[in-house]
Amino acid sequence: MEAILGTSLAVYVAVTFVLMGFAAWMTGQAVALTWKPWWQVVGYCSLLGFACRFLIFALFEGTLLSLSGLVLDVLVLNAYGLVAYRLGSVKKMVTQYPWQYRRTSPWSYRERGGGETASPGRETL
């Protein structure tokens, strides 16, 4: 396992999933809340993957040039970032435009129908 990850499993989980995973989650949220496109999350999280590999190397004497470790870092962090981006963009759409969209699940929203109002019991003029 250490040959694939470039470090021990405990260090990999702590740095990649916890520390840098939080950074990737916040990156996805920030990109969604500033109305940027999803592909920017991929770019930013890929850079976080390089930073993650460097932290593992510098702090825990892991392998810096571990290609499999880098690929796994980038994939995990992009997954975190893209999930956060989707959840953030759905939240942004249904809270900013409640008269036009309604949430159908944490992952999706739908345009409101003709007679459907944003809050029940209120009449439209």
Say which residues have a Cβ less than 8 Å from residue 29's Cβ, sequence separation at least 6.
84, 85, 87, 88
Residue 125: which pLDDT band, with cuts at 50, 70 and 90?
A: very low
What is the structure's pLDDT at 3?
Answer: 84
Question: Given 3-state DSSP classes, what are the helix, strand and coil percentages for the chain, each rounded to the nearest 5?
Answer: 65, 5, 30
Compute the average pLDDT of residues 95-105. Answer: 92
Confidence at residue 118, expressed as pLDDT on a 0 to 100 scale? 57
Bridge partners (DSSP) of residue 102 are: 110
Q: What percent of the chain has pLDDT over 90?
A: 75
Do 94 and 102 form a contact (C-beta atoms < 8 A)? yes
Placement of tokens 């520390």 in the chain: 19
Instruction: Provide the pLDDT confidence category of residue 115 given band limits of 50, 70 and 90.
Output: low
Query: In which element (H, E) is residue 103 found?
Result: strand 101-105
CA distance from start to end of the chain: 65
Compute CA 22 distance to the chain's CA centroid, rounded to the nearest angstrom.
Answer: 9
Contacts with 64 (C-beta within 8 Å, 6 or more apart), sequence order: 6, 53, 54, 57
Q: What's the whole-number mean pLDDT along residues 89-116?
A: 88
